[in-house]
Amino acid sequence: MNMEKKTVMITGATSGIGEACARKFAQGGYNLILTGRNSERLNAVKAAAEALGAEVLVLQFDVRHREEAESAVASLTGKWSNIDVLVNNAGLALGLEKEYEGDMDDWETMIDTNIKGLLTMTRLIVPGMVARDHGHVINIGSVAGDAAYAGGNVYCATKSAVKTITDGLRIDVAESNVRVTNIKPGLVETNFSVVRFHGDKDHADNVYKGIKPLCGDDIADVVFYAASAPEHVQIAEVLVLATHQANGSFIYRKPQ
């Protein structure tokens, strides 16, 4: 008996955790809807996922732009309109300045992406899940949402908002069979720090010196585990840290 494949939508799928999730869900037998801003990278991830046996649809748009997101979701037809899992992964950090010296444009980008973009995708996708009485929203939060760390101020605030928004959604859908999960990674070596330091690769590399950090695949494993749990099991929240990271602000680094 052939079971119909489930469909996962992954935002920010062009690199890092999003790209790793695309590979993991492709290996797990899902069809994929991949979203992101960079069409070249989207198509590269699409080709890799298709090589693993997945059917893949790409949607190029920026989650910060609500009209683009609305248009992209409205274009989904047939099997692509029935999304089983939404991975709200699109997000970023910019800068490490003191709050009173921060770049206001950076603040707006983080807030618009990490909070408003996540809310937009949730608003567009979850009503269908509730109507079908089936679905799973997995938000990629951060250990930064648990407590502020030096230089993290606004970024930490956005990830604290992700936790609260996730908890609130879980309350709102509790009468349905829709599940809601917050995955909170610690130090993960992706292009995250390169983006944070506006392309300064040397500065970004220093973040990972003296410790073996997590990688995108480590987080994708946890995301897929949450999605694969039995229907009556809701993995509400998972904090994932590198072995030598105790929390958002304390990391033991081996002498170089």
157-173: pLDDT as tens digits: 999 999 999 999 999 99
pLDDT tens for residues 15-31? 999 999 999 999 999 99
- DSSP states along 75-134: T--GGGG--SEEEE----------GGG--HHHHHHHIIIIIIIHHHHHHHHHHHHHHHT-
Q: Which helix or strand (DSSP H or E) is residue 13 part of?
A: none
Q: Locate the domains of the chain by residue range.
A: 7-240
List residues with catalytic annotation: 155
pLDDT at position 1 is 39
* pLDDT at position 125 over 50: yes
Domain at 7-240, CATH homologous superfamily: NAD(P)-binding Rossmann-like Domain (3.40.50.720)
* pLDDT at position 140 over 70: yes
Per-residue confidence band for 242, with pLDDT thresholds at 50, 70 and 90: very high
Kindly list the distances between the CA atom of residue 81 and the CA atoms of 73, 125, 195, 197, in Å, as whole numbers in the listed order. Answer: 8, 9, 32, 37
What rounded mean pLDDT belongs to the chain?
96
pLDDT tens for residues 46-93? 999 999 999 999 999 999 999 999 999 999 999 999 999 999 999 999
pLDDT tens for residues 183-239? 999 999 988 888 888 888 888 888 899 999 999 999 999 999 999 999 999 999 999
Of the chain, the end-to-end C-alpha distance in Å amounts to 57
pTM, to two decimals: 0.96
For CA atoms 32, 38, 39, 44, the dihedral sign is negative
